[in-house]
Amino acid sequence: MNEGPIFVTGPFGDYYLSQIAANNPADPWPVQGQDSPAVNAGSDYANNLGMHEYTTRTDDSADAFDKGMVDMGYHYQLIKSIERCSIADVFADGRIDIGDLAEISMYWFRQSCSPGDGWCGATDFNEDTEVDSKDLIFMVKCWLAEDTAPPLPNPAEWAEEPSVVTTTTVSMTARIAFDGWWGEQVEYIFEQTKDTNYDSGWRQGYDPGGLDYFAEPHIWIDTGLTPGTQYTYRVIVRDKSELQTHEPHETQPSIEISVVPGADVNPPAPVEWATKIDDGIYGLPYPTDPITIRMIARVAIDPEGSNVQYRFRGVAGTTAGNEGLDSDWQDSAQWNVTVVDIYLDGYTFEFQVRDEIGNVSAPSQQATAPIDPDWNPPEPDPAEWATWPMKYLDQTLWYHYMAAEVATDASGVMYEFELVSGQGQGSGGPQIEPDHLVLVGTNVVGTYRVRYVDDSPLENKSQWSIEDPT
């Protein structure tokens, strides 16, 4: 071999061989982007050299031991050691017996076994491409061996103990288990000890097409719980022998953990009108036309994670007919209400928020819609150019420059420049400055327009100016 071996760091040293198949997001080792040329580069099969019980891979997969042609380089012990005889359990019933012998007889003297045919239905135990006497001898040595032990750890353990997520939800995570015969083919069940008829059911993650499959079977979220009630949980793990004709191999239960989902008495917060400074929009009641008033609440958050609703109401005793205005409970934090005439005496409103289990906040501060709203855009309207868009060279750099006529409005004016076509860049929204400068490339042409935006609650906008190229 004339190439470097591409060593990587693993659990027991710095001389593992880089192998893409060994990548595991849960491992702390660096990502392996290529296979070492030393993999399967030896002079004989790993089984013949006694290296089939060791590994050059960094992962803790149950079958990571060296198979097929031996890898060149240092071999480490497996982190998790699977029982060797389980490899001969072709019939997958937890016991080496006549069923497995029947399986190997179907492939007897078959040659050219490969990963494509599952190494001849998993009967080429040493993966040397042939089903022959070496494989039969291995099976004979394991004759009548069977799975007798439950998965580890035993008792089962918590990775994350049951904890309250919301007032009706509890989350829990078991420590991932491993079985000496079945490897990672194990199942989990989470039980409520006070109600033995209520549990998660057995959950498996090794057969996506099978029953009770979950991508993360060791995690369970229990929902629909009663606030203020104590719940006690434990977890148990079993191997696949339970699904065959053998006695179940279950771990002892984990320690029991009790939690009490809290009785939610807290309404959402804050209960405030939206503001331009904090929320980017004026939220107090404000007329948008002679018969419509818009109001916007600041988005409220429920401390227990419930959905939030809003209810806007006219305040009794302020304006004739005002107290009959009611949005009812709604998901939106904005309400546009139709009134008789905004020029009466001003309409006064307040709002409340609530969570999905009925906790209602106190009313917000009352706010009255003005009877003299600003609906007029800045002048002049349409907007006008003071300096038409142009390009110029400053030493070695090209720029686009333009300036709008200074506009007037009682509430204040901002200027918004927009690139209509070509290349360049607009202002990205209203700005205080009436001119706009942008760095561009050589001979770059862009067409621009400008408009005015006032600082009133409705941010009234003028019509766009004439479009003009640089």
pLDDT confidence of residue 187 = 93
**Quick one: three-class SS letters along the chain?**
CCCCCCEEEECCEEEEECCHHHCCCCCCCCCCCCCCCCCCCCCCECCCCCCCCEECCCCCCCCCCCCCECCCCCCEECCCCCCHHHHHCCCCCCECCHHHHHHHHHCCCCECCCHHHHHHHHCCCCCCCECCHHHHHHHHHCCCCECCCCCECCCCCEEEEEEEEECCEEEEEECCCEECCCECCEEEEEEECCCCCCECCCEECCCCCCCCECCCCCEEEECCCCCCCCEEEEEEEEEHHHHCCCCCCECCCCCCEEECCCCCCCCCECCCECCHHHHCCCCCCEEEECCEEEEEECCCECCCCCCEEEEEEECCCCCCCHHHCECCCECCCEEEEECCCCCCCCCEEEEEEEECCCCECCCCCCEECCCCCCCCCCECCCCCEEEEEEEEEECCEEEEEEEECCCECCCCEEEEEEEEEECCCCCCCCECCCEEEEEECCCCCEEEEEEEEECCCCCCECCCCCCEEC
Q: Quote the pTM value.
A: 0.48
pLDDT confidence of residue 105 = 92
pLDDT confidence of residue 10 = 87
pLDDT confidence of residue 331 = 96
pLDDT confidence of residue 427 = 96
The segments of the chain whose pLDDT lies below 70 read: 1-2, 60-63, 79-82, 196, 242-248, 263, 316-323, 345
Q: Please state the domain extents for the chain.
A: 84-141, 158-259, 276-368, 385-469
- Is-same-fold flag (84-141; 385-469)? no
pLDDT confidence of residue 455 = 93
pLDDT confidence of residue 77 = 79
pLDDT confidence of residue 366 = 94
The CATH superfamily label for domain 158-259 reads Immunoglobulins (2.60.40.10)
Q: What CATH topology corresponds to 84-141? A: Type 1 dockerin domain (1.10.1330)
Q: What CATH topology corresponds to 276-368? A: Immunoglobulin-like (2.60.40)
Task: Assign domain 385-469 to its CATH architecture.
Answer: Sandwich (2.60)
